[in-house]
Amino acid sequence: MKTLVGIIAITIILSCSSQKSIVQSETNKSEVKEVNQKASASFVVSEKNVKSSLEYLASDELEGRNTGSKGIEKAAVFIENYFKKHNVKPYFKTYRDSFNLKDIVGYNVVGYVEGNDPKLKNEFVILGAHYDHIGYGKAVNGDSIANGANDDASGTVAVLKWAKYFSKTKSNKRSVLFTLFSAEEMGLKGSSHLAKRLKKQNLNLYTMINFEMIGVPRAQDEIMSYISGYERSNMGEKLNEYGGKEVVGFFSKAKEFQLFKRSDNYPFYQAFKIPAHAISTFDFTNFDYYHHVDDEADKMDFKHMTNFINLMIPALEGMINAPTQDIKMNDE
């Protein structure tokens, strides 16, 4: 009888211990989510600032931001100055990650906000977009500058605003690289160069998200944005869980159009074999000016852009601050 009582007592103790561990785990997740929500609520990206940044990047002064041009040099300086102003440090000796394409010198611009957790800061998350475009296109009404407002000044502006957010709030446990790529329009050359460089340096990369063409909204009955390669990992569902709102969804034609392989996320997936995706609000039905000279700032929906940028903050923060690496590749 004593033996039986002892077994029951031990079972109760182990059960209580297990339940306590589960409760503590759930409490930790709840606390992280609460901290994330408080930080994001105290910082709101304004439509005015989004509009101002995009209008410059998509202005005629930058001549379509073709890699190797005077215009893209101005765009790079704008990005560097934005990083400096908001205390986003360079990851390398300078902000520029330079590479050669025959007789052209291209450069990615890379900002860095170190994580605040002693252990998790050794893990990295990359948020990226390409800041180059095609330069000039077929003239329409005397205008031949392909300004690339949606493609991809919109994604570039989003990454800049998030860099400012994390630099100001210091709320990121993992370290974050804010990467603006050039030569995307030449075949993902900039992102391929950076992915290989970081892999060679053994960067401990957890996840990577590239933001591509977020300047126009989808139809009202569609989820606000979609993630390429949705089925390759659980990133989409986890981002929605972290953010407490369904902001990222599935696009049925993404696989047909091979969108996973057509954006700057793909070189990081190839190099690191980690969850690396692109997020977009352009679904081939809601914008008629892809690689067109009428891809202008006045075609952008700044209210939508600003709303998307703000809604993504708690989702990104949840991913960056999760105590464990919850986002994983699915079996392919």
63, two tokens: 């001549």
30 and 106 both lie in a single domain: no
169 and 305 both lie in a single domain: yes
Q: Tell whether 328 is covered by a domain.
A: no
32 and 143 both lie in a single domain: no
Supply φ then ψ for residue 222, to 5 degrees.
Answer: -105, 155
12 and 103 both lie in a single domain: no
The pTM assigned to this predicted structure is 0.88
Domain range holding 12?
A: 1-42
Q: How many domains does the chain have?
A: 2
Q: Tell whether 332 is covered by a domain.
A: no
Q: Tell whether 330 is covered by a domain.
A: no
Say if CB 170 and CB 89 are below 8 A apart. no
Of 176, 52, 195, 75, the residue nearest 135 (C-alpha)? 75
114 and 145 both lie in a single domain: yes
Supply φ then ψ for residue 257, to 5 degrees.
Answer: -85, 0
User: Could you tell me where the beta strands, DSSP code E, fall in the chain?
Assistant: 89-90, 96-101, 104-113, 124-130, 135-140, 143-146, 175-181, 205-211, 225-227, 248-249, 276-280
pLDDT tens digits for range 173-191:
999 999 999 999 999 999 9
Q: Tell whether 91 is covered by a domain.
A: yes
The residues, ordered by sequence, that sit 6+ positions from 305 with a Cβ below 8 Å of its Cβ are 47, 50, 54, 154, 157, 158, 214, 215
Tell me, what CATH number does 132's domain have? 3.40.630.10
88, two tokens: 């986003």
Judge whether residue 5 has pLDDT over 90: no
36 and 53 both lie in a single domain: no
15 and 94 both lie in a single domain: no
Q: Tell whether 327 is covered by a domain.
A: no
Of 112, 144, 147, 118, the residue nearest 133 (C-alpha)? 147
Query: What gap in Å lies between CA 265 and CA 92, rounded to an integer?
Result: 20
pLDDT tens digits for range 202-212:
999 999 999 99
151 and 222 both lie in a single domain: yes
Task: Determine how many CB atoms are found less than 10 A away from the CB of residue 103.
Answer: 6
Q: Tell whether 228 is covered by a domain.
A: yes
132 and 183 both lie in a single domain: yes
Q: How confident is residue 90, by pLDDT bands cut at 50, 70 and 90?
A: very high
24 and 106 both lie in a single domain: no
193 and 230 both lie in a single domain: yes
17 and 54 both lie in a single domain: no
